């Protein structure tokens, strides 16, 4: 972390008692930076930001010397809730901003966490990178290829530490699966599949009554075409194709990333996907599919498939199939391994056995540690 001349001068003055009576807010923030505390700004204070990012980081406040000092969201209610939570944790409220531009312009912010809407991720990431702020950015990273390229180029050009929010790979049980796979116990993999089903699409749970006066509507829309304010589109944005592409980038991105992490694959040679709204046709007129199926072929010689059925919640599964056994991750917290279905001789147990976890820093801790040591994060 940089120590500017003004910081050094200020600390010297404090040590001699000269400046003890004139500590402004900005001066205080610089003292924190000079003491190696990481000052964090949060862009997007909805459910993911407020209930995952912020508490996930706050638990490392002492051990990693980190503090949330600014929050940003176009909805006043979310901003105020986030600022109040910061006040509860740190004894002072965070500074509140409507636009990301004001937050990334702060000299005393060292890093930002982006938990905004899918269509906003690349804009926020590019701006943070150009401001030289280390960044944690939620998935899916992009909806358009050109926006993705600009954001990634900005990250590389400005040499920031960046973590993408596919946190499944930073779990001890996931690393345990990876180490087990490396032993060759499963033999040759033929197929990896996940069926992630539910009673109804997850965007229904986000719908809320919002007043137009409390929202900066243009800040939410960003580069999307202007339209009259809609509380349904603002809160249920997961269900509209202008702002999200549905379950494949929403859910399957976790599945594909974790699969890649465990089996060591990288890029598929082909992919095909189909979907549509077949069950949940109602007054909300959601455009993201409630039924999807996607299939990838990998050059290593296996097929990967993902399906979502939001018309019936049964049949959920996540398995890696080899000719000598399977890893079953249907319960992500307790994966098992067995020789179930093996077509060749196997040393694996007939009955499912727990996969031995391997100690791994969680996703937020990995990011904070990489900010300190300037290494590449687990998901970049």
Spans of all domains in the chain: 37-168+363-373, 189-322
Q: DSSP alpha helices (H): ranges in the chain?
A: 5-15, 25-34, 47-48, 54-58, 76-90, 100-104, 121-130, 145-158, 172-182, 217-221, 231-235, 247, 253-263, 363-373
Tell me whether domains 37-168+363-373 and 189-322 share a fold.
Answer: no
Strands 317-322 and 66-72: unpaired
> Considering only CA atoms, which of 269, 336, 277, 278 is closest in space to residue 304?
269
Sequence length of the chain is 380
Q: What pLDDT score was predicted for residue 35?
A: 57
pLDDT of residue 1: 37
CATH H-level, domain 37-168+363-373: superfamily: NAD(P)-binding Rossmann-like Domain (3.40.50.720)
Q: In this structure, is the dihedral angle defined by the CA atoms of residues 51, 57, 63 and 66, taken in order, positive or negative?
A: negative
Residue 123 CB coordination number (10 Å): 18
The answer to whether 293 and 313 are in contact (CB under 8 A) is no
Residue 47's φ and ψ, nearest 5 degrees, are -60, -45
> What are 312's two structure tokens?
């019936």
What does DSSP assign to residue 212? G
> ∠ CA(216), CA(217), CA(221), 5° rounding?
125
- How many of the other CB atoms lie within 10 Å of CB of 73? 30
* CATH node for 189-322: 3.30.360.10
Handedness of CA 205, 210, 214, 217 (dihedral sign): positive
pLDDT by residue for the chain (380 residues), tens only, comes to 333 333 333 333 333 332 222 223 433 343 334 459 999 999 999 999 999 999 999 999 999 999 999 999 999 999 999 999 999 999 998 999 999 999 999 999 999 999 999 999 999 999 999 999 999 999 999 999 999 999 999 999 999 999 999 999 999 999 999 999 999 999 999 999 999 999 999 999 999 999 999 999 999 999 999 999 999 999 999 999 999 999 999 999 999 999 999 999 989 999 999 999 999 999 999 999 999 999 999 999 999 999 999 999 999 999 999 999 999 999 999 999 999 999 999 999 999 999 999 999 999 999 999 999 999 999 99
């Amino acid at each position: 972390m940089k120590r500017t001349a003004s910081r050094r001068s200020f600390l010297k003055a404090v040590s001699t008692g000269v400046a003890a009576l004139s500590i402004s807010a900005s001066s205080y923030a610089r003292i924190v930076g000079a003491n190696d505390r990481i000052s964090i700004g949060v862009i997007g204070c909805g459910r993911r930001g407020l209930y995952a990012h912020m508490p996930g980081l706050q638990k490392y406040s002492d051990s990693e010397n980190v503090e949330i000092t600014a929050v940003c969201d176009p909805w006043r209610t979310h901003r105020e809730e986030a600022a109040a939570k910061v006040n509860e944790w740190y004894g002072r409220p965070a500074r509140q901003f409507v636009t990301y531009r004001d937050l990334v312009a702060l000299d005393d912010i060292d890093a930002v966490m982006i938990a905004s809407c899918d269509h906003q991720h690349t804009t926020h990431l590019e701006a943070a990178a150009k401001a030289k702020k280390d960044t944690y950015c939620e998935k899916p990273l992009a909806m358009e290829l050109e926006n993705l390229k600009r954001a990634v180029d900005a990250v590389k050009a400005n040499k920031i530490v960046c973590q993408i929010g596919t946190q499944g790979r930073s779990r001890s049980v996931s690393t345990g699966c990876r180490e087990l796979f490396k032993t060759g116990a499963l033999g040759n993999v033929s197929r990896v599949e996940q069926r992630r089903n539910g009673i109804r699409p997850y965007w229904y749970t986000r719908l809320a009554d919002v007043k137009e006066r409390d929202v900066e509507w243009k800040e939410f829309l960003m580069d999307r075409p202007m339209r009259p304010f809609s509380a349904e589109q603002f809160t249920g944005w997961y269900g509209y194709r202008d702002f999200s592409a549905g379950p494949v980038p929403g859910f399957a991105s976790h599945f594909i990333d974790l699969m890649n992490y465990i089996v060591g694959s990288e890029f598929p040679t082909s992919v095909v996907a189909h979907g549509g709204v077949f069950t949940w046709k109602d007054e909300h007129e959601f455009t993201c599919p409630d039924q999807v199926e996607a299939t990838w072929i990998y050059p290593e010689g296996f097929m990967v498939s993902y399906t979502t059925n939001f018309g019936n919640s049964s049949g959920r599964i996540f398995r890696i199939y080899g000719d000598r056994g399977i890893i079953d991750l249907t319960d992500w917290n307790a994966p098992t391994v067995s020789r179930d279905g093996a077509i060749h001789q196997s040393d694996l147990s007939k009955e499912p056995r727990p996969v031995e976890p391997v100690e791994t820093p969680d996703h937020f801790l990995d990011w904070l540690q990489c900010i300190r040591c300037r290494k590449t994060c687990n998901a970049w």
